[in-house]
Amino acid sequence: MNENPLLTESELPFGAPAFDRIENRHYIPAFEEALKQAKAEVDAIIENSAEPDFENTVQALEFCGKQLNAVEEIFFNLNEACTDSEMQQIAEDITPKLTEFSMYVSLNEKLFSKIKAVYEKKDSLGLNEEDSRLLSETYKAYARNGANLPAEDKQAFSKMSEELSLASLRFGKNVLGATNAYTLDLTDEAQTAGLPDFVKESAAAEAASRGKTGWVFTLDRPSFMPFMQYSANRDLREKLWRAYSSRCIADNFDNDANIHQIVDLNMRRAQMLGYGTYADYAIEDRMAKTKETVNNFIADMMAKCLPFARTEIADLQAYAEANGFEGQLMPWDFSYWGEKLRTEKYSVNDELLKPYFQLEAVRDAIFGLAGTLYGLSFIRREDIPVYHPDVQVYEVKDGDRHLGLLYMDFFPRESKRGGAWMTSFRDLSIRDGVETRPLVQLVTNFSKPAGDTPSLLTHYEVTTFLHEFGHCLHGLLAEGSYASLTGTAVARDFVELPSQFMENWGYEPQWLNSFARHYRTGEAIPQDLIDKLVAAKNFQAGYAFVRQLRFGTLDMAWYTAQCAPEESAADFEHRILAQAEVLPVIEGTAISPQFTHIFSGGYSAGYYSYKWAEVLEADAFSLFKEKGIFNKEAASSFRENILSKGNLEDADVLYRKFRGRDPRPEALLEQNGLSAGTK
């Protein structure tokens, strides 16, 4: 065991993981030993004969399983970002054991009786704000995880939790498998008609990396989206769109059974805890509090945005017809004609913008923005090992103070799932006066360098970078003693505020002018191009809103049912979304079978959070528009009241401390040109 890098104390700077030494063979022994240690630590709390108090029960429990947490965070984060078939099998093998331990802790009657004894005398303990919050949140978490269930129900609850974990793993594994299983291989240059050089170069590099000639397009977003936007070959657009939209439906990666099992298990667990539906259970602990609030929020937004979306589709249909298109616009036509209309209307597109958004320049500008707002600096650390050659590591400092490490992993590969996300290999904690700072991971799937062309980002990728970096700041600027209360450990519908808030700078000329230079000539981005980009910001905003609201509607429909529907996932989805369709529904395609957010990504009954948090960020950023986008007073308040506070207080309280009032819902519609009187 002493030779296992997952079990030995790191000698690297800041206790960074020894990624250069970790091999797949280390995981199972590390999990088994860490589970053994964690159980012994829990049992020590249970068997302690002293009267239960905050320190020997609640605080001790908070710090239990440090070794196990470290192994889990490394393994499961890498299983998302740098996996292989062996790791995926390890995940399936170890998950039942981890769930069994989790249930041993959360359903342990002796342990809960001690927690309850401390909780019942909380008002007389003289705890400070942070310790009092930990006590309340610990008690609530145990109650919400079945600790109050009758003994005969606990075993069933535990079994369902294990089955749920495995079903979620299978769901994500299938989506990754289906994404990697398909490529569109082109060898005839005529088939690339309409594609800009940057798209062709990237596809040629993809082909070369696979030992093929010509051009290869995949279902990863940096490959899929540009093809849909620019390819003049409608048949090929349809072919690629159908492949993308039919993933995990009636194929080798079919997720229908997994969806039904996940929904059923979530519902049964919630009902066992006394809730009518899983949504009632999940939302109770968030800002929204009730499913009725969420459904009303979505319905209100949908009612206001759907007319705009339908007008935008009608305008696009008319534009396409005026330019020689015949028939009804189909889903594989939307991005293509939308890009043409956007370019004609605003004279701006990705081909014009990408040369000014070299990845390294964007990265440094985002670092600079964090420096301007919060006084942070980012120092490249090449002495700290990484889990893949693409990964970069930065030490983050506030003056002379070390805040944490930031691991940045930018490019797609078969071993990485699609999308972009932030997570951590280690969270903040203070124990016995010793502070352990976070190790944060930022993962994206940006366009790779191709030939002598560096990685050039679309503007969408620039805002994606800003978004995930906002999550990273939430983790890195955390303050407090307890990992369960710091950083991004906040209500699901509050966690997207820092990320979506950061996206605003992507449309601010003052920030864009500070760094956007042509990667070949060094020429500053023309002011008229920035003006056009800003003017085009709300292009088809109605459609974009409706698209997100449809996802939220679908999510809530799955998790407000009393039981899993008997119909297929695709049929259920089409029935639920029928009233909000703006483009034709295509048989054999659906969102649900590949909707990782709600079936394996932690957003079950929570996808509404994106729009909910957009209301918060639009209202929050309006303060910066009033005071100045680099205003240090506003930034200091945002850091103090939002970024550093984690879950030390309820989200609505923290927001009011920052803004001085509740958020204005109208701010979001106004920001996107969707309020009354706008078009």
Among all residues, which ones are annotated catalytic? 468
Strands 401-409 and 439-443 turn out to be parallel
Give Cα separations from 51 to 29, 56, 115, 130, 404 (angstroms).
36, 9, 11, 22, 37
Match 């009241």 to its residue by tokens: 641
List the one residue out of 399, 404, 362, 351 whose CA is nearest residue 377. 399
For residues 545 and 306, what is the distance between their CA atoms, to the nearest angstrom? 8
Residue 166, C-beta contacts closer than 8 angstroms, at least 6 positions apart: 92, 95, 96
Q: What Å distances lie between residue 184 and 196, 520, 576, CA to CA?
A: 17, 31, 32
Side-chain-side CA neighbours of residue 4 (13 Å): 16
DSSP three-state, residue 434: strand
The conformational region for residue 363 under phi > 0 = left, psi -120 to 50 = alpha, else beta, is alpha
499 contacts 492 by C-beta, under 8 angstroms: no
Closest of 294, 280, 267, 272 to residue 562, by C-alpha = 267
Q: Both tokens of residue 410?
A: 């930018």
Residue partners of 648: CB distance under 8 A and separation at least 6: 129, 130, 133, 480, 485
Supply the DSSP string of 84-149, one letter for each residue: -HHHHHHHHHHHHHHHHHHHHHHT-HHHHHHHHHHHTTGGGS---HHHHHHHHHHHHHHHHTTTTS
Give the C-alpha separation, 668 to 671, whole Å.
5
How many distinct helices (H) and strands (E) make up the chain? 27, 9
Which tokens is 469 given?
Answer: 């970096």
- Strand, helix or coil at 429? strand
Burial 338-351 (b: 16+ CB within 10 A, else e): bbbbbbeebebbbb
Contact between 619 and 667 under an 8 Å Cβ cutoff? The reply is yes
- The number of residues in the chain equals 679
| DSSP 3-state of 354 | helix
Q: Which of 129, 123, 142, 80 is nearest to 646 (CA)?
A: 129
The full DSSP string for 496-534 is: THHHHHHHGGGG-HHHHTTT-B-TTT-PBPPHHHHHHHH
List the one residue out of 467, 475, 427 whose CA is nearest residue 444: 467
H or E element in which residue 605 lies: none
CA–CA gap between residue 524 and residue 514 (Å, rounded): 9
Q: Which two tokens stand for residue 109?
A: 């009657």
Tell me how far apart the alpha carbons of residues 165 and 178 are, in angstroms, rounded to a whole number.
20
Instruction: Report how far Cα 484 is from the mean position of its chain's Cα atoms.
Output: 18
3-state DSSP percent of the chain in helix, strand and coil, to 5: 60, 5, 35
Instruction: Give the span between the Cα atoms of 102 and 90, in whole angstroms.
Output: 18
Place of tokens 């170069």: 201
Smallest Cα–Cα separation from 446: which of 406, 410, 409, 422? Answer: 410
What is the phi-psi region of residue 645: left when phi exceeds 0, alpha when psi lies from -120 to 50, beta otherwise? Answer: alpha
